[in-house]
């Protein structure tokens, strides 16, 4: 159905209604009476199909696309929408087109069942386009798909979810995937940034072949994919497909924390199985992995499939290769040696096969990263594969899959602790809505990644201070990505910290400051300890500074060492020379320790030494963290 002509089509159909025979009028009235008598517009399934949520005493749909509703009041009036929908069933269908009710197939089928509608008394015939789609999709079972974070992009750490509908075919690649994502984005980086964060983009539902999504996440985005098989039955999957059909190409304003890609997909799962309560939990936020956990708790998840990304596949071969093997893989991929020559080395055949496979993957990866041109890539790739055909099977070096992301700690964290700072005692409350920092247990998360949105620390000081209660920090966004060097890749580690933080001024007083602190550097892995070094700049704005601001440059180093599965240490130091604005020097050293107590609790001991404007300050904090 052409999107542009669609509202116009409804208008034509509405104009045609009064010309219709009175028998239709009588039957329509009968159905409307029946719906009122049954109080159908207050049933939960109606809320699911129209995405209604309680809002200020009434109910309002999360969908913003006017074409999703037939009543002008449809977005906020479930009853008006239902009656408009029933009236729509009687719109005549021009010859050769499907009746309009086919576009709203999920509500039509449900109302048909609940009102025992006699389809022969409605104008128009079968839904040819939808039936064709069902034949093509062959809905038998469904899968909740979770593309995880990018290996060096903790910002993608929240991941994403989509739903795949599988048929009887053995291949899963040609199954259909239903996804919801922000669309129509700007091409200017800054506009994209601002609007993307604050939800100015419409999110749109799309249905497309799964292999396109694998390509997007696995091969190009370098994100591992986890597939959670669901125990939805055939009729349930068909119901879900009807709802997806109704939603396709419709949009809803995209809000990062609640109405995001994952939360709205829960309506699809509920449309399949209304007994599952997923959208009426009203969480603080719905991160993609949370939605996976809820589906698991509702008993929907049966088994799990892991699809490593191209980069992960390359890295997983590293352990089995000698230094010379790795060099050879890189030389072939980088075009320093022809595959014919490189793969003639006197090595076991299965080793050569593995080298050829990884070299082809590495060339593919370099192409995706635009490190080589299209022509360079295709030539090296095909030349390598041509030799590869003569080498037989490669040695099997499949490493075990990492722990699945839904088994990681919960996203939100609350910390309560006590400490002393320069002789004053304090109680501390730290709240973090999402989702992981360097000291948290890494199972199911990216090691070396820290991402914090809107985390805040509040302290109540005891004695010796004018301020009894104060906000210590408020992070708008705080991201650190430590990606260690390995024999294949040399990733850059980076950080960006933007928010409010207490600052020390020249006279020794303290006050709230705005802080922007970006940095970049390198990380290396020795055993299981991760070391890093970064160059950073920091700008602070605060009333207590001369000229109200100060800007400096400097660096930081640190070691992150998981001593045991439950005990982790982070030792770090920073030195900054503020040479513009209010000139001064700042030094900081910290020893942070964390002990996991049980599934959802941990004990932390932080020792911190700082020297700003030549004034020393020691701080110690003992805190209990709870994840939920």
Partner 1 sequence: MKKTLLALAIVSIALVSFSGTAYADKRSNTGCGLGHLIFKDSGESLVIQVLAATTNTSFGTQTFGITTGTSECDQFGKVAQNENLNRFVSGNMENLAKDIAMGKGETLDTVVEMMNVPASQKTAVYAKLQANFGAIYTSDKVQAGEVVDRISAVING
Subset of residues 332 to 361 that bind partner 1, contact rule: CB under 8 A: 353, 357, 360-361
Smallest distance, partner 1 to C-beta of residue 294, A: 19
Q: Verify binding: residue 396, partner 1, rule CB under 8 A.
A: no
Helices 105-115 & 22-38 angle (0-180, nearest 10): 80
Considering only residues 282 through 321, tell me which ones interact with partner 1, judged by CB under 8 A: none
Considering only residues 530 through 559, tell me which ones interact with partner 1, judged by CB under 8 A: 537, 539, 547, 549, 551
Percentage helix, strand, coil for the chain under 3-state DSSP, each rounded to 5: 35, 35, 30
Radius of gyration of the chain (CA): 29
Q: Residue 249 belongs to what H/E stretch?
A: none
Residue 471's DSSP bridge partners are 458
SS3 (DSSP) at 469? strand
Which residue, 71 or 179, is less far from partner 1 as judged by CB?
Answer: 179
What is the C-alpha separation between 47 and 42, in angstroms, rounded? 8
Smallest distance, partner 1 to C-beta of residue 10, A: 20
Neighbours of 565 (CB within 10 A): 10
Write each residue from 183 to 222 as x if it is in contact with partner 1 (CB under 8 A), else as -, in one continuous string: x-xxxxxx-xx--xx---x--x-xxxx-xx--xx--xxx-
Tokens 């999360």 correspond to: 62
Considering only residues 504 through 523, tell me which ones interact with partner 1, judged by CB under 8 A: 516, 518, 520
Per the structure block, which two tokens stand in for 265?
């997909």
Q: Choose which of 169, 234, 345, 468 interacts with partner 1 (CB under 8 A).
A: 169
Smallest distance, partner 1 to C-beta of residue 377, A: 5
Considering only residues 481 through 500, tell me which ones interact with partner 1, judged by CB under 8 A: 494, 496
Which residue, 157 or 612, is less far from partner 1 as judged by CB?
Answer: 157
Q: Verify binding: residue 426, partner 1, rule CB under 8 A.
A: no
255: Cβ contacts below 8 Å, ≥ 6 apart: 199
Q: Which stretch binds partner 1 (CB under 8 A): 27-35, 170-178, 468-476, 606-614?
A: 170-178
Q: Verify binding: residue 104, partner 1, rule CB under 8 A.
A: no
Strand stretches in 159-307, DSSP E: 162-166, 176-182, 202-209, 223-230, 251-253, 301-307
Considering only residues 446 through 465, tell me which ones interact with partner 1, judged by CB under 8 A: 451
Smallest distance, partner 1 to C-beta of residue 550, A: 9
Smallest distance, partner 1 to C-beta of residue 317, A: 14
Smallest distance, partner 1 to C-beta of residue 542, A: 14
Q: Verify binding: residue 181, partner 1, rule CB under 8 A.
A: yes
Q: What is the DSSP string of 135-147?
A: HHH---EEEEEEE
447 vs 154, 291, 484, 574, CA distance in Å? 10, 22, 10, 22
Considering only residues 237 through 276, tell me which ones interact with partner 1, judged by CB under 8 A: 248-249, 254, 256, 260-261
Q: Which stretch binds partner 1 (CB under 8 A): 153-161, 233-241, 336-344, 562-570?
A: 153-161
Query: Looking at residue 47, what DSSP letter applies?
Result: H
């Amino acid at each position: 159905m052409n999107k542009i002509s669609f509202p116009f089509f409804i208008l034509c159909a509405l104009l045609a209604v009064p010309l219709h025979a009175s028998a239709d009028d009588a039957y329509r009235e009968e159905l409307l009476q029946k719906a009122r008598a049954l109080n159908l517009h207050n049933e939960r399934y109606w809320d699911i199909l129209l995405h209604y949520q309680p809002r200020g005493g009434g109910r309002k749909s999360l969908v913003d696309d006017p074409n999703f509703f037939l009543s002008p009041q449809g977005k906020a009036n479930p009853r008006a929408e239902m009656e408009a929908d029933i009236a729509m069933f009687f719109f005549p269908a021009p010859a050769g087109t499907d009746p309009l009710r086919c576009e709203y197939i999920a509500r039509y089928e449900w109302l048909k069942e609940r009102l025992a509608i006699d389809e022969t008394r409605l104008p128009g015939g079968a839904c040819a386009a939808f039936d064709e789609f069902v034949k093509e999709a062959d809905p038998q079972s469904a899968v909740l798909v979770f593309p995880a974070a990018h290996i060096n992009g903790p910002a993608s750490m929240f991941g994403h979810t989509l739903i795949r509908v599988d048929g009887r075919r053995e291949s899963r690649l040609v199954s259909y995937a239903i996804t919801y994502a922000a669309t129509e984005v700007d091409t200017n980086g800054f506009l994209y940034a601002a609007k993307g964060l604050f939800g100015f983009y419409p999110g749109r539902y799309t249905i497309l072949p799964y292999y396109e999504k694998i390509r997007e996440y696995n091969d190009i985005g370098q994100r591992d994919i986890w597939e959670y098989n669901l125990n939805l039955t055939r009729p349930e999957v068909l119901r879900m497909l009807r709802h997806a059909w109704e939603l396709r190409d419709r949009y809803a304003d995209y809000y990062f924390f609640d109405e995001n890609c994952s939360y709205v997909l829960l309506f699809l799962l509920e449309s399949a199985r209304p007994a599952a309560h997923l959208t009426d939990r009203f969480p603080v936020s719905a991160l993609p992995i949370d939605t996976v956990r809820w589906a698991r708790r509702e008993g929907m998840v049966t088994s799990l499939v892991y699809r490593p990304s191209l980069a992960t596949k390359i890295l997983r071969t590293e352990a089995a290769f000698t230094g010379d093997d790795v060099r050879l893989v890189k030389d072939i991929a980088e075009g320093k040696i022809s595959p014919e020559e490189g793969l003639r080395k006197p090595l076991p055949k299965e080793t050569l096969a593995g080298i050829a496979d990884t070299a082809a993957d590495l060339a593919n990866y370099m192409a995706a990263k635009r490190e080589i041109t299209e022509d360079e890539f295709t030539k090296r790739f095909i030349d390598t594969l041509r030799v590869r055909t003569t080498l037989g099977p490669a040695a099997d070096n499949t490493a075990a899959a990492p722990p699945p992301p839904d088994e990681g700690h919960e996203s939100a964290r609350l910390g309560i602790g006590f400490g002393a700072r320069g002789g004053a005692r304090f109680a501390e409350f730290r709240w973090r809505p999402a989702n992981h920092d360097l000291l948290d247990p890494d199972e199911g998360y990216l090691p070396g990644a820290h991402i914090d949105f809107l985390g805040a620390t509040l302290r109540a000081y005891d004695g010796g201070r004018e301020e009894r209660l104060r906000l210590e920090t408020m992070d708008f966004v705080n991201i650190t990505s430590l990606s260690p060097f390995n024999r294949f890749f040399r990733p850059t580690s980076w950080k960006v910290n933007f928010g409010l933080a207490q600052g020390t001024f020249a006279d020794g007083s303290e006050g709230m400051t705005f802080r922007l602190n970006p940095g970049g550097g390198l990380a290396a892995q020795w055993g299981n300890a991760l070391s890093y070094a970064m160059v950073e700049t920091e700008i602070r704005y605060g009333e207590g500074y001369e000229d109200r601001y100060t800007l400096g440059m400097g660096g930081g180093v640190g070691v992150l060492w998981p001593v045991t599965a439950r005990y982790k240490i982070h030792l770090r130091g920073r030195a900054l020379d503020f040479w513009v604005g209010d000139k001064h020097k700042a030094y900081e050293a910290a020893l942070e320790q964390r002990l996991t107590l049980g599934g959802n609790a941990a004990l932390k001991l932080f020792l911190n030494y700082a020297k700003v404007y030549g004034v020393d300050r020691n701080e110690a904090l003992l805190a209990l963290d709870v994840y939920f």
